[in-house]
Amino acid sequence: MRIDVVTLFPDYIRYCAGFGVVGRALERGLLAVHGWNPRDYAEGNYRRVDDRPFGGGPGMVMMIDPLRTCLQAVRAADPAPAPVIYLSPQGPRLTQRKVRELAGRERLILLCGRYEGVDERLIQAEVDEELSIGDYVLSGGEPAAVVVIDAIARLQEGALGDAESAVQDSFEDGLLDCPHYTRPVEHALGRVPEVLLSGNHAEIARWRRMEALGRTWLRRPDLLDEARLSPADRALLEAFRRQYAAALEEPDGDA
């Protein structure tokens, strides 16, 4: 897969894509990320890419032409069709489902805005989709582009080792992950749950599923509405709720 990022800070993208799973995916050739700077396509001695907004107000707006010429160059660099995604707090929020859809594409162009935004006419003419990574405002689209690249990279076949894939699986069904523990078994902060030491794989899988369901119920009940729960899942969640209520009843119980 190929991702082209149109940004005033290509070094930022290059740097952030250099670590961990994304860095390895790039090294293994599972993913290619290219940065493009619209300033390189701007006219004049100052290579201006932004100007004051019509109608007044604070901040600067990114101009049409440097972005448009840059996008033409990006498209010409590879024949594969590439939808343009503009990272913006006005887009629909990114979800794992959306990430999965994007990860299956051959090519994507991510457009990062800066300052107050991008001239609306450029968005209307060139952008296929807008995407937000959450309900807050960043100073530019670059951190959001890095988030999108990371989430896509780890879904490329061969990007994750076996250990990491297992974690991913538990996420794929729209539930939060269960808690994890490692050595030492006994610590001043507490003991590892007995079931994880039992060697009973069926019991461990049952416990993990129950914890995932319970955590999702406690922390993100909105996700439970969307998740397709089997009758066995419903029974596990009911068991978790009972245990949780019982723990709350205990004099010094801390669920």
Active site residue 89: yes
Q: Which of 78, 116, 150, 177 is catalytic?
A: 116
119 near 66, Cβ under 8 Å?
A: no
Given 135, 157, 162, 169, which residue is catalytic?
169
Catalytic position from the list 89, 114, 209, 233: 89
Q: Which is nearer to ligand ADE, 117 or 214 (CB)?
A: 117
CB of 128 to ligand ADE, least distance (A): 15
Is 116 a known active-site residue? yes
Q: Which is nearer to ligand ADE, 82 or 138 (CB)?
A: 138
Which regions of the chain does DSSP assign to beta strands (E)? 2-6, 32-36, 50-51, 61-62, 84-87, 107-112, 117-118, 129-131, 186-187, 190-191
Catalytic one of 107, 114, 154, 209: 154
Q: What is the phi-psi region of residue 150: left when phi exceeds 0, alpha when psi lies from -120 to 50, beta otherwise?
A: alpha
- Write the interaction track for ligand ADE spanning residues 125-164; mark x where CB under 6 A is met and - where it is not: -------xxx-xxx--x--x--------------------
Contact code string over 64-93 relative to ligand ADE, x by CB under 6 A: -----------------------xxx----
Instruction: Give me the DSSP letters along 30-42.
Output: S-EEEEE-GGGG-
From the CB of 94, what's the least distance to ligand ADE, in Å? 8
Residues 8-47 within binding reach of ligand ADE (CB under 6 A): none
CA dist 85 to 6, 130, 188, 206, Å? 10, 5, 49, 40
Q: DSSP string spanning 21-80?
A: HHHHHHHTTS-EEEEE-GGGG--TTTT--EEPPTT--SS-EE-HHHHHHHHHHHHHT-SS
Q: Is 7 a binder of ligand ADE (CB under 6 A)?
A: no
**Residues near ligand ADE (CB under 6 A):** 87-89, 132-134, 136-138, 141, 144
Q: Which sequence positions are flagged as catalytic?
A: 89, 116, 154, 169
